[in-house]
């Protein structure tokens, strides 16, 4: 009979050396450490990709500018988009899910801790490989360096004839590796949520955050394989002369678009659903009310996940589909607005009549609500095929999806940082610096992206290296670039705050926000095992039940 090998963990050193700390990170399978590693790596890639955006805005600040070359500009928008989606958005959600899901469901770790570590390292090495292209892309072939085919890498631009050298191959391989990481993380999340919940935590008692992460994990499992398959087909095209996407040899360039957007549009929801997850935890706590319409919120999230797989070709209205195709995808796209609207109304319903506390996490969530609504409205505008024909590939579209991903996703990531940093680090973030961060970023964001809609209406295409004077685009581009400077200053405030507060911040205690979910029942930061004794719950707000024995939730659920 096999004997289980159990060693006593070494007592932690008081002041471990850098080498010891790095070793701990390399070998860790602890969901909290891996979660923080995901978030730290994503924030690193965020600063790199954000700096790339700043360089692009500097290039566009005035007409006929030659601050950078056209080739560099093409690489910048490709690497910016790719990194923000695959190396920032996805890993941040993986990081938050890793850190919070086991704590929220009262588990000691993820169901598959080693697979969890493997997922992180796949993402991390994939990211390094992508950026390694800057050093090695030109080295052997002498052509190009970083990828320059746009983040959706349309065919036939990716064919050998138009993308010689290895830069496009770096893009394919890096995303392929990251995709493996995402898929194993999704499997792990599903296994954890279904198998590791503490006693009493039925599916309908799970926090909304956990529900949404479960749906996101399911979506990743369905959305990533088509992209991986398409990337392998593209590799075969480029290395072995297969002709899947070669139109001159009977292949189809449109096929790539279908494959890419079958992944790409659910991907937008994969990115934005964690934003919903964060908002659904923070808004109730700072409104002092339980979330309004919990079952409808769950149903709406499932509906969004389901419908998001039937809207992909609204990215392809300009390809020239049949009128039936256009109508179908326009209608399904508008249909997504229904469950999304339910969510927005329910968040407002949660706030309505509540005792709202305007702490930093709540401020960012309110910003999210306002901006995501605008993003949704411009999305509905673009869902109308004739409107899309006019504005496709213009800066209007760029403004729209930055409202989704910055105004929506990034704001809730900031909210999540302010909300859970005290739990992860044990100290509060500085409120004054946080307010500077919020207001600088909000003003900067609106300067950049509100104004970006207008040159789109005036005919300014996206991804152009420069433009002539006299088209009426100058002032809007100038304002957009000024906004980026404010956003950069705001991010600097956040970085200083994160570093300073880790040492000097006010001690947080176990439950600084008087919150209700299980992560606040343990210490800040939590021990390796999370809970000395695994909790038992009777309602969706287990801590509320203890704090308010006169009016516990289980009486009503």
- Give the number of residues in contact with another protein, rule: CB under 8 A: 72
Query: Which residues neighbour 316 within 8 Å (Cβ) at sequence distance 6 or greater?
Result: 254, 257, 258, 261
Tokens 């659904």, located at residue: 280
Angle 384-385-386 from CA coordinates, rounded to 5°: 95
- If one asks whether residue 474 binds another protein (CB under 8 A), the answer comes out as no
Stretch that binds another protein, among 81-89, 292-300, 409-417, 540-548 (CB under 8 A): 540-548
- If one asks whether residue 390 binds another protein (CB under 8 A), the answer comes out as no
Q: What are phi and psi of 355, to 5 degrees?
A: -100, 85
Residue 4 or 17 with smaller CB distance to another protein: 4
Nearest to 187 by CA among 211, 220, 212: 220
Cα–Cα separations (whole angstroms), residue 84 to 52, 60, 80, 303, 309: 11, 20, 6, 26, 22
- Rounded Cα gap, residues 512 and 494, in angstroms: 20
Tokens 């529900």, located at residue: 211
Q: In 3-state terms, what secondary structure has residue 535?
A: coil
- Rounded Cα gap, residues 481 and 65, in angstroms: 13
Looking at residues 127 to 146 of the shown chain, list those that interact with another protein (rule: CB under 8 A). Answer: 128-129, 132-133, 136-137, 140
Stretch that binds another protein, among 174-182, 411-419, 436-444, 478-486 (CB under 8 A): 174-182
Residue 114 or 471 with smaller CB distance to another protein: 114
Single out the residue of 55, 463, 523, 525 in contact with another protein (rule: CB under 8 A). Answer: 523
Answer for the pair 126, 90: CB distance below 8 angstroms, yes or no. no
Residue 393 or 514 with smaller CB distance to another protein: 514
Answer for the pair 417, 437: CB distance below 8 angstroms, yes or no. no
Single out the residue of 126, 207, 264, 339 in contact with another protein (rule: CB under 8 A). Answer: 126
Looking at residues 402 to 461 of the shown chain, list those that interact with another protein (rule: CB under 8 A). Answer: none
In the complex, minimum distance from the CB of residue 290 to another protein, in angstroms, rounded to a whole number: 11
In the complex, minimum distance from the CB of residue 477 to another protein, in angstroms, rounded to a whole number: 30
- If one asks whether residue 518 binds another protein (CB under 8 A), the answer comes out as yes
> What's the alpha-carbon Rg for the chain, to the nearest Å?
24
Looking at residues 54 to 113 of the shown chain, list those that interact with another protein (rule: CB under 8 A). Answer: 108-109, 113
The contact pattern for another protein, residues 339-378, with x = CB under 8 A and - = no contact, is --------------x-------------------------
Looking at residues 24 to 53 of the shown chain, list those that interact with another protein (rule: CB under 8 A). Answer: 24, 26-30
In the complex, minimum distance from the CB of residue 94 to another protein, in angstroms, rounded to a whole number: 14
48: exposed, middle or buried (Cβ count in 10 Å: 0-12, 13-18, 19+):
middle
In the complex, minimum distance from the CB of residue 16 to another protein, in angstroms, rounded to a whole number: 14
Largest CA distance in the chain: 83
The contact pattern for another protein, residues 486-515, with x = CB under 8 A and - = no contact, is -----------------------xxx--x-
Stretch that binds another protein, among 63-71, 175-183, 420-428, 481-489 (CB under 8 A): 175-183
The contact pattern for another protein, residues 213-252, with x = CB under 8 A and - = no contact, is ----------------------x---x-------------
- If one asks whether residue 522 binds another protein (CB under 8 A), the answer comes out as yes
In the complex, minimum distance from the CB of residue 232 to another protein, in angstroms, rounded to a whole number: 11
- If one asks whether residue 4 binds another protein (CB under 8 A), the answer comes out as yes
Angle 121-125-130 from CA coordinates, rounded to 5°: 150
- Rounded Cα gap, residues 111 and 474, in angstroms: 54
What secondary structure does DSSP assign to 104-120, as a single string?
HTT-SS-SSHHHHHHHH
């Amino acid at each position: 009979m096999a004997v289980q090998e159990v060693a006593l963990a070494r007592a932690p050193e008081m002041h471990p050396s850098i080498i010891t700390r790095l070793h701990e990170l390399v070998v860790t399978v602890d969901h909290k450490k891996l979660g923080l590693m995901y978030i730290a790596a994503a924030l690193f890639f965020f600063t790199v990709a954000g700096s790339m955006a700043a360089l692009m805005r500097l290039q566009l600040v005035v007409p006929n500018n030659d601050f950078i070359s056209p080739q560099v500009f093409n690489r910048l928008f490709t690497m910016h988009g790719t990194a923000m989606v695959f190396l920032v958005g996805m890993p941040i959600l993986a990081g938050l899910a890793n850190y919070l899901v086991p704590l929220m469901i009262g588990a000691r770790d993820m169901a598959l801790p080693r697979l969890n570590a493997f997922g992180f390292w796949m993402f991390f090495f994939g990211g390094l490989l992508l950026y390694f292209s800057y050093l090695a892309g030109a080295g052997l072939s002498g052509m190009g360096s970083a990828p320059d085919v746009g983040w959706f890498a349309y065919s036939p631009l990716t064919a050998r004839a138009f993308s010689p050298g290895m830069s496009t191959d770096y893009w394919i391989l890096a995303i392929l590796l990251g995709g493996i990481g995402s898929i194993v993380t999704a499997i792990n999340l599903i296994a954890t949520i279904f198998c590791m919940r503490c006693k009493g935590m039925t599916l309908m008692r799970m926090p909304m955050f956990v529900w949404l992460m479960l749906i996101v994990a399911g979506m990743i499992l369905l959305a990533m394989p088509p992209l991986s398959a398409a990337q392998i087909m593209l590799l075969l095209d480029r290395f072995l002369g297969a002709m899947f996407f070669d139109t001159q040899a009977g292949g189809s360039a449109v096929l790539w678009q279908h494959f890419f957007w079958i992944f790409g549009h659910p991907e937008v929801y994969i990115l934005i659903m964690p934003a919903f997850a964060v908002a659904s935890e923070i808004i109730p706590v700072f409104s002092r009310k339980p979330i309004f319409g919990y079952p409808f919120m769950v149903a709406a999230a499932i509906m969004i996940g389901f419908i998001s797989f039937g809207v992909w070709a609204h990215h392809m209205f300009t390809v020239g589909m049949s009128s039936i195709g256009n109508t179908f995808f326009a209608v399904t796209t508008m249909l997504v607005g229904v469950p999304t609207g339910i969510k927005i109304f329910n968040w407002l319903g949660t706030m309505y009549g509540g005792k709202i506390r305007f702490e930093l996490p709540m401020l960012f969530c309110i910003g999210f609500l306002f901006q995501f609504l605008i993003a949704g409205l411009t999305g509905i505008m673009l869902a109308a095929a004739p409107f899309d024909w006019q504005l496709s590939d213009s800066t209007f579209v760029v403004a729209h999806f930055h409202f989704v991903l910055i105004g929506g996703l990034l704001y809730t990531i900031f909210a999540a940082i302010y909300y859970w940093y005290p739990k992860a680090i044990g100290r509060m973030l500085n409120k004054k610096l946080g307010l500077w961060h919020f207001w600088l970023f909000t003003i900067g964001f609106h300067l950049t992206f509100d104004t970006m809609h207008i040159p789109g209406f005036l005919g300014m295409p996206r991804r152009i290296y420069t433009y002539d004077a006299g088209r009426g685009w100058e002032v809007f581009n100038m304002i957009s670039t000024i906004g980026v400077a404010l956003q950069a200053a705001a991010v600097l405030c956040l970085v200083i705050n994160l570093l300073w507060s880790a040492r000097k911040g006010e001690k947080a205690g176990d439950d600084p926000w008087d919150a209700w979910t299980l992560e606040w029942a343990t210490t800040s930061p939590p021990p390796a095992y999370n809970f000395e004794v695994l909790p038992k719950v009777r309602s969706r707000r287990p801590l509320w039940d203890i704090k308010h024995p006169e009016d516990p939730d289980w009486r009503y659920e």
